[in-house]
């Protein structure tokens, strides 16, 4: 029999569609197994400040379709200090917490790993980030919704680009990872994609545009990940306009639209599977791991590996995107 009686759940870092679905799954699975479940408000900052409350099944009713996170999220400078982590530990001990489910990205995992090295309370991590850049899982919670939001926006931009024969540079999120840009570019039929992981040059883009002109293609779409090495979409657009003054160039930055909105069915199911498995993992007495889904199976990666290892883009997918754009 499991010795776990009380567990807590919190969300940390950037919000991602599907976090509420994960919270719901954690709460309902815990209640099903007669566990007490607590929600920590505003991530590690709430843990330090003692912002914790008991959750019941009714508290997570009608949230599976909502974006954002009902537990809120915040950065915590206090938790980065030994004193702050001690206060967080006292919060958990005061509420007799036996295990914690942490929903977030690499920063969240790092905090959990450091905390576990200092205190004997197990943490299990769920990958909640739209960037899809966490090692140990094919998909992160929120990624599918983010790319669907981006593709819907690009489809609408395509209409005006076509009508006015314009060259549009569309910037999507991805400071260090090109997953959103790559998938958005493929799904929207973009003429070129600028990724942080590749070295596409402005000369390469000029060649692509010239080939398009020869095919009498009067408009074009270029997807730009915000962290690519050539600059943001505005900078790239200005340089291309300088080299090719004949183009009618426009820039559109999708921005935080990608973070919000109702999660897709895929994100709801993914988050529900992970939340359910997180509770079962703690009940087995396990901790220090990040849950993931690889080849449609739940997997477990030690925090240290999830944090230190890089999740690379699929090179075949990158090559395919180049071929299909020609």
| Domain over 145-260 is classified CATH 3.40.640.10 | no
In this predicted structure, what is the pLDDT of residue 94?
98
Q: Which residue's entry shows tokens 């099903």?
A: 32
What single-letter DSSP state applies at residue 141? Answer: B
Q: Which residue's entry shows tokens 């197990």?
A: 122
Pick among 3.40.50.2300, 3.40.30.10, 3.55.40.20, 3.40.50.450: CATH of 6-142+263-308: 3.40.50.450
Q: In what order do the strands lie in the sheet with 52-55?
A: 52-55, 36-40, 6-11, 99-104, 123-127, 289-294, 297-302
Q: What is the token pair recorded at 322?
A: 């180049």
Q: Which residue's entry shows tokens 């905090």?
A: 111
Other beta carbons within 10 Å of 247: 17
Q: How does 120-156 read in b/e, with b if 16+ C-beta sit within 10 Å? A: ebbbbbbbbbbbbbbbbbebbbbbbbbbbbbbbbbee
Q: Are 6-142+263-308 and 145-260 equal in CATH topology?
A: yes
C-alpha 79/C-alpha 110 separation (Å) is 11
Strand partners, 289: 124, 302
**DSSP of 252-319:** EE-GGGGT-SPPPHHHHHHHHHHHHHHHHHHHTT--SEEEEEETTEEEEEEHHHHHHS-----HHHHH
Length of the chain: 326
Q: Is the pTM of this model over 0.85?
A: yes
Catalytic machinery residues: 131
In this predicted structure, what is the pLDDT of residue 218?
63
Alpha helices in 165-201 (DSSP H): 179-188
> pLDDT in tens for each of the 326 residues of the chain?
468 999 999 999 999 999 999 999 999 999 999 999 999 999 999 999 999 999 999 999 999 999 999 999 998 999 999 999 999 999 999 999 999 999 999 999 999 999 999 999 999 999 999 999 999 999 999 999 999 999 999 999 999 998 888 899 999 999 889 999 999 999 999 999 999 999 888 998 988 888 877 676 667 999 999 999 999 999 999 999 998 888 899 999 999 999 999 999 999 999 999 999 999 999 999 999 999 999 999 999 999 999 999 999 999 999 999 999 87
Q: Domain map of the chain by residue range? A: 6-142+263-308, 145-260
């Amino acid at each position: 029999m499991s010795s776990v009686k009380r567990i807590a759940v919190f969300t940390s870092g950037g919000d991602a569609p599907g976090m509420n679905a994960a919270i719901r799954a954690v709460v309902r699975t815990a209640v099903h197994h007669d566990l007490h479940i607590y929600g920590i408000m505003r991530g590690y900052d709430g843990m330090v400040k003692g912002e914790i409350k008991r959750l019941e099944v009714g508290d997570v009713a009608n949230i599976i379709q909502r974006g954002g996170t009902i537990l809120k999220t915040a950065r915590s400078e206090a938790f980065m200090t030994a004193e702050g982590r001690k206060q967080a530990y006292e919060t958990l001990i005061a509420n007799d917490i036996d295990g914690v489910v942490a929903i977030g990205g690499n920063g969240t995992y790092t905090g959990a790993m450091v905390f576990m090295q200092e205190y004997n309370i197990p943490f299990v991590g769920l990958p909640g980030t739209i960037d899809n850049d966490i090692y140990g899982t094919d998909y992160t919670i929120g990624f599918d919704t983010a790319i669907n939001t981006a593709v819907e926006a690009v489809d609408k931009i395509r209409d005006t680009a076509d009508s006015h024969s314009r060259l549009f540079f569309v910037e999507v999120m991805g400071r260090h990872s090109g997953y959103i840009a790559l998938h958005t570019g493929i799904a929207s039929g973009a003429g070129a994609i600028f990724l942080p992981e590749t070295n596409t040059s402005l000369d390469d883009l000029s060649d692509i545009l010239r080939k398009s002109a020869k095919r009498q293609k009067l408009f074009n779409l270029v997807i730009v990940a915000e962290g690519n090495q050539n600059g943001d979409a505005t900078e790239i657009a200005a340089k291309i306009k300088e080299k090719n003054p004949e183009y009618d160039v426009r820039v559109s930055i999708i921005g935080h639209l990608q973070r919000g909105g109702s999660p897709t069915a895929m994100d709801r199911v993914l988050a529900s599977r992970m939340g359910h498995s997180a509770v079962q993992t703690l009940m087995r007495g396990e901790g220090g791991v990040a849950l993931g889904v690889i080849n449609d199976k739940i997997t477990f990666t030690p925090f240290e590996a999830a944090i230190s290892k890089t999740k690379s883009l699929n090179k075949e997918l990158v090559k395919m995107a180049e071929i299909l754009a020609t």
